[in-house]
Structures are given as C-alpha cells and as structure tokens.
Structure 1
Amino acid sequence: MDHSTHIAHGTRRFGRVNWLGLYTLGRREILRFASVWTQTLLAPLVTAGLFMVIFTIAIGPRRGDVMGVDFVMFIAPGILMMTVIQNAFANTSSSIVISKVQGNIVDTLMPPLAPLELVLGYLAGGVARGLVVATAITVAFWLVLGLAPAHPIILLGFVLMGAAFLAALGMIAGIFANKFDQMAAITNFVITPLAFLSGTFYSVEALPPGLYQITHVNPVFYLIDGARFGMIGVSDSSPYLGFGIASLSTVAVCGLAWVFFKTGYRIKS
C-alpha cells in the first residue's frame, strides 16, 4: 500500500491534473455567486443602468459626440467593462477573504489540488460571473438603446480577458487581506480608481500629457478601450495592442497568484 501510494504521489507531482478537484472548486465558486444572484448578478445590472440614466440626463444632451459617436453610446462599453471587472474581482477576493476570516480556508488547501489548479478553480468562478454580467448588460443595451456589438468576437475576447485579469488580482488581494476592512481599502483605493480613471467616461485624447502617459501603462485602459472597439467600432488605441498587453498582464498576475498559493503566503500561517 505504501508503494502504490508513493507511485500515485509521484505521478501526481509530475503533471497529472486533478480534474475532479478542479471541477469541484470551479463549480463551488460558480454556485457561490449564483445562489445569491440578486446581489451578484441583478445588482450590477441595476447599477449599470443607473450610470447610464444619470450620465444621459446630466451630461448627454450637452456633451455632444465623442470620437464621432453619441456620448451615450460611447460610455456604454466602458460601463459594461467596468461592471465586469469589478464583479470578477469581487468574486475571487471575497471568496478567499471570507474563507480566511471564517477559518475554513483549510478545506480548500487540504485536498490534493496543485497551486495551478487552485488558480484555475478560483479563476473559473470570477470569469463565469464576469461573463454572465456582461451578457446581461449587453442584452439590456440592445433592448433599451438598440446597441448591438459591432465586433462581437473581439468584445467577447476582451470581456473574458478583463474578467480573468481582475479575477487573478482578486485572488492576490484576497490572499493579502486578512480582514474585511483591508479588502475594502484595496477595492476603494486601487480597483475603483483603476476602473474609473481608464477612459470609462471619456476619451483619453482629452487628457493632459502627464495623465495621458500614465493612463497608457494601465492595463484596465486597454480592456475598456478594447471593449469599446468591440461594441461600437471606435477606440483610442489598437485593439490588438490592447489585447496583447492585457494578455501579458493577466499571465503576470496569474503567475503571482500561483506563487502565493505554492508558498502559502498569508494563507498557511
């Protein structure tokens, strides 16, 4: 028995994927937000609608066109992507922080799941939530505004990449934070500014040179800009460049999350 256990452990270490464990973790993360859908899915849809109504009434009539596009149509993709990334981040970060605060993070760490499998499992929940939110908002824009994606495949690619990037950042934030107020601070002082100051409600061409350069090193800008191209066919930068930068950024943060899971940083002590 000891010999067979050693063999199983050896093959496990040399690359066999624990598909059942990965599926179970991903399913748990998806069911976690689906079970409270009024909070995790309906609320973001209402919030996005309120943003559209407020900006349409307060600014729309006086703002005119932006980059040759009606202002309301211009901000719609930004609001969509902003909502997607906020929900993807919230899904992974809240799951890990709640588990740490309640003391049941061990239930996730004890099963034979490799660090990469933990990353992919949590990532599945964040990406699924972001995709569902994006689908609901896109349908609402089509029904209310008559706005259909100009390049649906490109839009889908940026939505998936945006959800993956922020879901990975959510894992890092959740691992780093030990209390809810630390998590709130990260959300308020890092994630919200990244979302709001990335061209969501304006073209970055209107920014002064300093802010213009700073914006172009922010991966969230490329996510919002790419979603705008996918939705209405206009953008401040090349969507292909944006997708490349977003992909590299996603790989980088997923790699950092993998390192944290592998070393047990702030989750095994």
Structure 2
Amino acid sequence: MTDAAPAASAPPAPRRYDGINWIGLRTLYLREVRRFWKVGAQTVAAPVVTTLLYMLVFVVAVRGGRPPLDGTPFAEFVAPGLIVMAILNNAFANSSSSLIQAKIMGTSTDFLTPPLSPLELTIGFSLGAATRGIVVGLVTAVCVMPFARLQIHDLFAVIGFALAASLIMGMAGVLAGLWSEKFDQLAAVQNFVVMPMTFLSGAFYLVENLPEPFATLSHYNPFFYLIDGFRSGFIGHAEGSLAVGAGMSAALIVALGLANWLVFRSGWRLKS
C-alpha cells in the first residue's frame, strides 16, 4: 500500500458575506409572514371582527346622539383611529409572540444558527411584524367603509404614519418578546402598557376635551401622534403638530432599531 490513510478533513468554514445576507434576510422575513398567514383566521380575521364591533358600539349604537367632532362626523373621525389601533396591536403581537414562542419551544436556533447579523435579524423581524400590521390595517379599512365615508386628503400622511406605526410596534414587540420569559409577562406588557397607551391616544375623542393634566400628558404619548397624523390624511386637519409627530416617529424608529440591534448583538435572553 502506497497511499496513506486520508487525513481527517476540516469542517468547512462558515460562509462569509461581505454585505447583507439577502438570502437569509428574505428567508427570515418570509418565515415571519408565513407564520401569521397560516393562521389567518386568528391573526387577520379576528382583529377585523374586533374593530367592527368597536364601530358597532361607538358609531351605530350612538348614531344621532353624538355631535360631529371638530367639524367631522363621528364615524369618519373614529374609523382612522381604529385602523391604526389594529396596525399597532397586530405589529406588536407578531414579533413579540414569534420570539417568546421560539424561546419557550427552544427553536431560537432556527434564526441564531444561520449566518444572520444582528442588523439582518432586526430588519427581518421588524418587516415581518410591519407586514402583518399593514395587512390587518388594509383589511380593516375595507371593512369599515360601510360605516364611514373615508376620503383621502393626504396620501403621504396616510402611508407614512401607517408605516411608522407598524415599524415602531414591530420593533417594540421584539424587545417585549426578548424580555418576557413566559406568556404572562408578555400579556402584562400588552395589558398594562400597550393597551392603555392605545386607548388614551385620542382614537375615540379629542384630546383637548380631556381635563388637565391628562390633555397635556396625552401630547407625550407617541400613539397620539401616530393616530392623529394618520387621521389627518383622511379628514384634512390634525389636532396636534404633524411635524412633531413625524419627528417623534422617526426618532422612535431609529432608537428602537438601535435597541433591537444591540440586544440581538449581545444575545440578551436568547443565548443565556
């Protein structure tokens, strides 16, 4: 025998990406979208039914008993707020539930093992959550049309604040999902933080009608600016400053994006 036994081959080196791993990012995004789309009756249809019940209670049941708000009929005033509420809640639910389920079921290796950078993880989870929020928002808008005659006055405001709302809550859901170690903790965030901020944002009333100090405090609620800016795209005027709302939304997107990048980079409550 002249040939020596073959030396043990070294394992292949991990694949390196000079830029963004587009294949991995696309796969993660599609994973998040397909995850909620497979249970569309729960993730899309159910929120729409809830919104229609709100419309039934706040519009149909009090028809004729509520005067126009700020020159706008009550149905046209409240419908945009309900659409943004659906976007906010569902974007938050998508990313937070995805991460806490991965942690509890031990499937977080599905996105930690592939060569995905912290930035790619942030983008993938955020865009997946934003997609669910926008889809639910679009379906909700179509379903509330019979109750409210919505006319677009500023398409840029409608699209801009809808995208901002979905991205902000998608990234907030990432932080909540990583922080929570069980579903009870996540439910506490939804019930004691997200829901109060949503209902106290002027979705059903004019903030200026609130007694002090609540009227002033409402102007520090980012949900107020998201709903007010989105509504202004339909009714043509805003209760607050659109410039302040746009600036606050941009600042939140940058701050939450940086926070997401840092927690994915450190592996906080994922690798420990």
Pick aligned residue for 2:86 from 75, 83, 87: 83
1:41 aligns with 2:44: yes
Q: Please state if 1:31 is matched with 2:38.
A: no
What's 2:4 paired with?
A: none
Mapped to 2, the partners of 1:244 and 1:45 lie a distance apart of: 30
Task: Flag structure 2 segments of 5+ consecutive residues without an equivalent.
Answer: 1-8
Residue matched to 2:74 = 71
Q: CA RMSD in A?
A: 1.7
Contact (CA 8 Å) 1:141, 1:148: kept in 2 or not?
Answer: no
1:200 corresponds to which of 203, 217, 231: 203
Corresponding residue of 1:53 = 56
> In 1, distance between residues paired with 2:225 and 2:268?
30
What is the TM-score of this pair, normalised by structure 2? 0.92
Q: How far apart are the structure 2 equivalents of 1:93 and 1:118?
A: 14
Q: 2:241 aligns with which of 238, 247, 253?
A: 238
* Mean CA deviation greater in 208-217 or 119-128: 208-217
Secondary structure at the counterpart of residue 93 of structure 2:
helix
1:61 is paired with a residue whose SS is coil
In the other structure, the counterpart of 1:124 is 127
Specify the SS of the correspondent of 2:205.
coil
Q: CA deviation at 1:43?
A: 0.9
Give the whole-Å Cα distance in 2 for the aligned partners of 1:165 and 1:60. 34
Deviation at 1:150, TM superposition (A): 2.3
| C-alpha separation in 2, matches of 1:35 and 1:198 | 32
Q: Secondary structure at the match of 2:145?
A: helix
Which structure: larger Rg? Answer: 2
Secondary structure, aligned partner of 2:270: coil
Deviation at 1:22, TM superposition (A): 0.3
Superposed CA offset, 1:162-195 (max 9, x none): 0000000000000000101111111100111111
Matched, 1:167 2:170: yes
Amino acid at match of 2:247: G
**Matched residue of 1:66: which SS?**
coil
CA shift, 1:237, in A, is 1.1
Cα distance between partner residues in 2 of 1:132 and 1:144 = 20
For the 8 Å contact 2:75–2:147, the answer to whether it is kept is: no
For residues 115-168 of structure 1, the C-alpha deviation after alignment (integer angstroms, 9 at most, x for no partner) is: 010010001111111111111122223344332322223101111110000000
Q: Which moves more between the two structures, 173-182 or 127-136?
A: 127-136
Q: How far apart are residue 238 of structure 1 and its match? A: 2.2
Q: Is the contact between residue 94 and residue 173 of structure 2 (CA under 8 Å) also seen in structure 1?
A: yes
- Identify the residue that residue 153 of structure 2 maps to in structure 1: 150
Give me the whole-angstrom Cα distance separating, in 2, the residues matched to 1:39 and 1:230. 29
Separation of aligned partners in 2, 1:249 and 1:16? 26
| Separation in structure 2 between the aligned mates of residue 45 and residue 218 of structure 1, nearest angstrom | 25
* Paired residue type of 1:188: N
- Looking at structure 1, the residues matched to 69 and 165 of structure 2 have their Cα atoms a distance apart, in angstroms, of 24
Q: 1:226 is matched with which residue? A: 229
Query: Is contact 1:92–1:171 with CA below 8 Å preserved after alignment?
Result: yes
The percentage of aligned residue pairs carrying the same residue is: 40
Task: Indicate if the aligned counterparts of 1:158 and 1:223 stay in contact, CA closer than 8 A.
Answer: yes
**Offset, 1:56:** 1.4
2-structure distance, mates of 1:136, 1:157 = 18
Work out the number of aligned pairs and report it: 263
Q: Which residue of 2 aligns with 1:255?
A: 258
Question: For residues 229-269 of structure 1, what are the alpha-carbon distances to aligned partners after superposition, in whole Å with 9 as ceiling and x for unaligned?
Answer: 01222211122321111111121112111111111111111
Higher helix share: 1
Asked if structure 1 preserves the Cα contact closer than 8 Å seen for 2:55 and 2:147, the reply is no
What code does the residue aligned with 1:150 have? H
* Structure 1 position 60, deviation (Å): 4.0
